[in-house]
Amino acid sequence: MEAVEIDKISKIYEDGTQALNEVSLKVREGKIYGLLGPNGAGKSTLIGIISGTVSKTSGTAKIFGLDNSKDLQKAKLLLGVVPQEVVSEPVFTVFEVLDFFAGFYGVKKNDRKKKIDEVLEALHLGSKRNTRARFLSGGMKRRLMVAKALIHEPKLIILDEPTAGVDVELRTIIWNYVKEINKKGSTIIFTTHYLEEAEKLCSEIAIINKGKVIVEEETDKLKYLFGETTIDATLENTGFELEKILDTDIIKFNDNEVKIITKTGNESYYLQKLATLGGLKKIEIGQPSLEDIFVKLVKA
């Protein structure tokens, strides 16, 4: 089943800004799905529409088959959302914030207590249980927002830059917990600025730019579709005629050093060819990072 099915969603804000232009996406249940794109691409708008907090101009959004313009409350019950903007809460303690929020989703009192302690522990906020939420540091406020989204064990969790401005160690804490929850069956959608995060975590990625989806693909396949691998080889022989065995993919060729940039997936072909020349002294293979692919696609 699809956790999310977005069909031709467009969004034009009141001031005329077109944030989304016929966006269609599918997120399969159980996946960790990354929504990437430069600032202003429309990620938060899309997340707002999925979570029912931003109205759409046209198109349909279904959450586990529920059309969120018809069954919004039912759809919302299945969701946990971490908004992009950091939220503070003037009078309530961390515990109270979570207690009320879980209550909104119908979690009963005894279950709430247990669940709150568990989530706070996992997100290393246990010692802040009775602190007023507004006195938390920025990173702690983020983790509290993550806690709010997870507290009712939703089937689908949407996180809009949950790790922005959070240091590396805490990012790991957040992602470890999110991964654990994913293993228990929840589907995860998130946006991030840290592309290494997306690369490590997501099994599927959509890149959006200027309100349009440029690609939607499994992370591994992205590399083969758009990535370039670099081979740096040093050969023992000099003066050989590489052109004879290799085609035009050679970028640099001087003396006994070769640099080959090729579409990812083709590297074994060239390695074999190089090996036949004999005397392979040194070899380095550079795999493309998601960042390379991202930059290439967004610029194009």
Q: Give Cα separations from 13 to 42, 54, 158, 189 (angstroms).
A: 11, 10, 22, 23
The distance of closest approach from Cβ of residue 176 to another protein in the complex, given in angstroms and rounded to an integer, is 24
| Interface with another protein, residue 190, by CB under 8 A | no
DSSP for 82-115? E-SS----SS-BHHHHHHHHHHHTT--HHHHHHH
Tabulate helix, strand, coil % of the chain (nearest 5).
40, 30, 30
Nearer to another protein, 77 or 242 (CB): 77
Cα separation, 32 vs 160, whole angstroms: 13
* Piece of the chain touching another protein by CB under 8 A; list 5-13, 31-39, 100-108, 190-198: 100-108
Q: Binding marks (x or -) toward ligand ADP, 44..63, rule CB under 6 A?
A: xx------------------
Size of the site for Mg ion (CB under 5 A): 3
**Residue 138 neighbours by CB under 8 Å, 6+ apart:** 86, 165, 166
Cα separation, 68 vs 91, whole angstroms: 32
Cα separation, 101 vs 147, whole angstroms: 10
Cα separation, 209 vs 45, whole angstroms: 12
Nearer to another protein, 119 or 207 (CB): 119
Which of residues 8, 22, 100, 252 is near another protein by CB under 8 A? Answer: 100
Which of residues 2, 60, 105, 242 is near another protein by CB under 8 A? Answer: 105
Cα separation, 299 vs 174, whole angstroms: 31
Residues from 73 through 92 that contact Mg ion (CB under 5 A): 84
The distance of closest approach from Cβ of residue 114 to another protein in the complex, given in angstroms and rounded to an integer, is 17
State the binding partner of 253 from another protein, Mg ion, ligand ADP, none, CB within 5 to 8 A by kind.
none
**Residues within the interface to Mg ion (CB under 5 A):** 43-44, 84
**Residues within the interface to another protein (CB under 8 A):** 51-53, 55, 73-74, 76-77, 79, 81, 83, 85-92, 96, 100-101, 103-106, 134, 148
